[in-house]
Amino acid sequence: MSQKKRFTEIDALRGLAALAVVLFHYTMRYEERFGTPSGGFSEVFAFGEYGVQLFFIISGFVIYMSILKVKSVSDFAIKRSFRLYPAYIFAVVLTFTIVSIAPIDQLKIDTMPALINLTMFQDFLGAPRVDGVYWTLRVELTFYILMGILLFFKVEKNVMWIVYSWLAFSVGIQLMHSVIDNDTSALIREFSISSFSHMFIIGMMFYSIWQHGGSLRYYAVIALCIFYDLFFMSTENALFTALFVATFFLVIHNRMQFLGSRVLVFFGTISYPLYLIHQNIGYVIINKMHELGFTHPIFTVMIIGATILAAYLIFRYVETPVQNALYKIYKGQRKPSGKKKIATD
């Protein structure tokens, strides 16, 4: 399977995951938070929240691949920043502005915490989030920090040592929390990302399989991760993890070529801005539509369509040009020291 084809199909999976999360938030989650139906289909899309798990598996694959290609920790950090911040900063400003003028107090935060959100480190600094979906960014950033540490000590290629150690550490954190079960142990479990570490490990293992073949040891680790999910999370969680593992297996063995369709690739292309802007802005719009009496499911579909359009516009006119400009500057600064192509994934 070529690298280009791999990225196309995995990006399509990312797009499907983002769309699943949007559908979950606009139906089930909206009804839970506001106590009013959002146009039906809540039970149909109740499992959309598990799309986040697929995000983390994909990150494990892509980010582990990235650290094997970059030159240094600073190179890795700069490229990740270029990838994440343009769309994110725009989304923070847009969401804060719209929520601030909307009559939904439970979504509002003060200006200073909103400014802290621009750093993307609001969870680490104890500030409330401009949008609730930003919680996954803390998990991702923690994973990036871990990968940066591996890169700094030049042990990033020792993948089996990494995943065994990380999984054992996560088991220890989970057992500690199950025994102590207080606020401190819960905080340690949260910021150690022990509830999601196995997802990243699965992604790392699939990258290793893609690069080196289907060694039994890689599949053994994936199986351990599913059992970890079953033991420490829930049966439902483990079933979805197993489903995503099966899907990834088919992708890397070129058995899901339909993911290369233009429609699915489009959703993969806009998945990041779609994820960033959909929740609170969507809640504001749904709430206003309900006030006006527009509660039929077709109006929820229209809001989803509008959100997809907005995500595309952000991708086309904010994310892409800003990234291109930043990469051009960075590449120009690095040119005298080498001509190695900059990986943007």
Summarised one tens digit per residue, pLDDT across range 30-67 is: 988 988 766 556 677 889 999 999 999 999 999 999 99
Q: Specify the pLDDT at position 43.
A: 75
Q: Specify the pLDDT at position 342.
A: 42
Q: Give residue-wise pLDDT tens across range 112-133.
A: 999 999 999 999 999 999 999 9
- Report the pLDDT averaged over residues 144-153: 96
Q: Specify the pLDDT at position 39.
A: 57
**What is the rounded radius of gyration, in angstroms, for the C-alpha atoms of the chain?**
20
Domain count, the chain: 1
In a domain, 45, yes or no: yes
**Does residue 295 carry a pLDDT above 60?**
yes
- Report the pLDDT averaged over residues 90-108: 97
pTM: 0.93
In a domain, 255, yes or no: yes
In a domain, 339, yes or no: no
Boundaries of domain holding 13: 3-331
Q: Specify the pLDDT at position 336.
A: 58
Q: Give residue-wise pLDDT tens across range 278-294.
A: 999 999 999 999 999 99
Q: Specify the pLDDT at position 341.
A: 46
**Does residue 345 carry a pLDDT above 60?**
no
Cβ atoms of 141 and 121 closer than 8 Å: yes
In a domain, 296, yes or no: yes
Give the pLDDT band (50/70/90) at residue 87: very high
In a domain, 337, yes or no: no
- Report the pLDDT averaged over residues 106-113: 97
Report how far residue 262's alpha carbon sits from residue 271's, in angstroms, rounded to the nearest whole number: 14
- Report the pLDDT averaged over residues 11-38: 90
Q: Which stretches within the chain are classed as H helix?
A: 3-24, 30-34, 51-67, 73-101, 111-117, 135-152, 159-180, 183-191, 197-212, 216-232, 235-252, 262-269, 271-291, 297-314, 320-334
Cβ atoms of 300 and 38 closer than 8 Å: yes
Integer CA distances (angstroms), 89 to 35, 52, 81, 204, 302, in order: 31, 21, 11, 29, 26
Q: What percent of the chain is modeled with pLDDT above 70?
A: 93
In a domain, 340, yes or no: no
In a domain, 12, yes or no: yes
Of residues 341 and 221, the one with the higher pLDDT is 221
Instruction: Give the chain's mean pLDDT.
Output: 92
Give the pLDDT band (50/70/90) at residue 5: low
Of residues 345 and 53, the one with the higher pLDDT is 53
In a domain, 317, yes or no: yes
Cβ atoms of 256 and 244 closer than 8 Å: no
Give the pLDDT band (50/70/90) at residue 203: very high
